[in-house]
Structure 1
Amino acid sequence: MKRILKLSVTLVLVLTCAVFMSQAAFAQSQDDVGTVIRIESAKYGNLDYDFGNAMGYKEHFCDAKPALQKICDGKRNCKVTVGNKICGDPWPGHGKFLYVEYSCGGKIKRVKRVQTEIVKLSCP
């Protein structure tokens, strides 16, 4: 009987702690809404108008989203140097740009920076 009571008390304490922890995490996530960066999309590269497709150009891009998410997601501010270290060199020997769409709460922001520049993302 004592053992069952001890297990019951332990279970109640564990469940109580879990509820408080989840409420605290929810409150924290609600505090962050609108105040932290969330990368929606990001690509690095450029367009080639010499070898057109049906649209009249060829794209030379790599997916920069995972790299920028790792650096910026969940922060209020971040800086990234635009270059091949982000996701490789999608078009060797040619100039490239970084295109980023990120959100701060309900607002979508867009940034375009040329190779070697520093892109600064921020959520007020």
Structure 2
Amino acid sequence: MHEPARSIMTPQRRRAAMRLGNALAPLYRLDPNIRLRVVRMFLLVAQEGGLTVGELAERIGVWKTLASRYLSDLGTVDRHGKPGLGLIMMVQRVYGDRREKHVYLTEQGLDIIDQIEVALTEPRPRRRF
């Protein structure tokens, strides 16, 4: 017979789950309906800023059109023409292929990353979400 999951949740596992929830909380405060794929795209831009839309699409494993949608949602204006989250900016190349846009975090995006870092490194995490 299997034990209920609650009985095998160690204090370390509970803290890990709480840290992850706290780390994602700043993004969910901005948009309670944010999709995990959009969160993954944001984190990829944070890790490897300056990649093109095509490179990001390849790294995350989606079509370029989907990557563009996710980036629009993270940018200043979402794909529906409504205000976006303002976490990333796309910069057009000056030389070479001007159709290429490189993606970087904005100041607000950097602030969210700072909040995530604090949540992940707290010695005694508190429930915040």
Which bracket does the TM-score occupy, shorter chain normalised? 0.3 to 0.5
Q: Which structure has greater helix proportion?
A: 2
Larger radius of gyration: 1
TM-score, normalised with respect to structure 2: 0.32
Q: Which structure has greater strand proportion?
A: 1
TM-score, normalised with respect to structure 1: 0.33
